[in-house]
Chains A and B, each alone.
Chain A
Amino acid sequence: NAGVTQTPKFRVLKTGQSMTLLCAQDMNHEYMYWYRQDPGMGLRLIHYSVGEGTTAKGEVPDGYNVSRLKKQNFLLGLESAAPSQTSVYFCASRAGVDVTDTQYFGPGTRLTVL
């Protein structure tokens, strides 16, 4: 039982390049989330999904797209990377939104955009 995994762990991009971050969970959770974490700003929600085939915008969605074609996977795409997207990205999953449902996080992807 690996929990939430993220690929890759590190990545360096040049401005304008594209990439996809992969998140996988093996807990059969319905809800999945993508956050970015920047110094002094805490965790900010980018996009989320409430089930297979669904996605929705969070607080800071501009410049990102997501897809959830399979229940266990949640992909975050950057079509044209910008230096402002330099950050640490965390994926999380949760069985439901009852307060007893714990939200679990992945290990993170550190992205640098030059």
Chain B
Amino acid sequence: EDQVTQSPEALRLQEGESSSLNCSYTVSGLRGLFWYRQDPGKGPEFLFTLYSAGEEKEKERLKATLTKKESFLHITAPKPEDSATYLCAVQPPFLNTGFQKLVFGTGTRLLVSP
């Protein structure tokens, strides 16, 4: 069964303290990996799509990278406004049923203190 595991479950950083969030997956034949940000009381907001191992995407203080087994979301010099839950999701290969669904991890709750 396709699985996505995110670690750590929660992470507390001081403002300016860089770190990384991990998303590991067991999908073979991955077609894409997605990162979302979710603020409390809101829906997930799309950040990045990564398509193949070695790919990197950047947005402000965030950089997402992808290997054959996992993805990292690097946060450089975070600010309090980066506090949120970060979700990753994978898109497996097409099934014979033709139905495609994203498989989500349970997220990492990030808190950045001033």
Interface string of A94-111 (1 = CB under 8 A from B): 000101101111111010
Let me know if A105 and B43 touch, CB within 8 A.
yes
Most A-side CB within 10 Å, residue of B36, B42, B44, B51 = B44
Let me know if B106 and A40 touch, CB within 8 A.
yes
- What separation, in Å, do the CA atoms of A43 and B51 have in the docked complex? 22
- Chain A residues touching B, range: 20 to 34
- What separation, in Å, do the CA atoms of A58 and B97 have in the docked complex? 13
Residue of B nearest to A31 (CB): B100
Q: Which residues of A contact B45 (CB under 8 A)?
A: 105
Let me know if B43 and A107 touch, CB within 8 A.
yes
Which B39-53 residues have C-beta < 8 A from chain A?
Answer: 41-46, 49, 51
Interface string of A32-51 (1 = CB under 8 A from B): 01000000111101001010
Which B77-108 residues have C-beta < 8 A from chain A?
Answer: 87, 89, 91, 99-102, 104-107
Interface string of A49-82 (1 = CB under 8 A from B): 0100000101000000000000000000000000
Let me know if B104 and A42 touch, CB within 8 A.
yes
- What separation, in Å, do the CA atoms of A96 and B100 have in the docked complex? 9
- What separation, in Å, do the CA atoms of A4 and B45 have in the docked complex? 11
Q: Which of B44, B46, B89 contacts A90 (CB 8 A)?
A: B44
Subset of 15 A-B contacts with CB under 8 Å: A4-B43, A40-B106, A42-B106, A45-B101, A48-B99, A50-B99, A90-B44, A100-B32, A102-B49, A103-B102, A105-B44, A107-B43, A108-B41, A108-B42, A110-B41
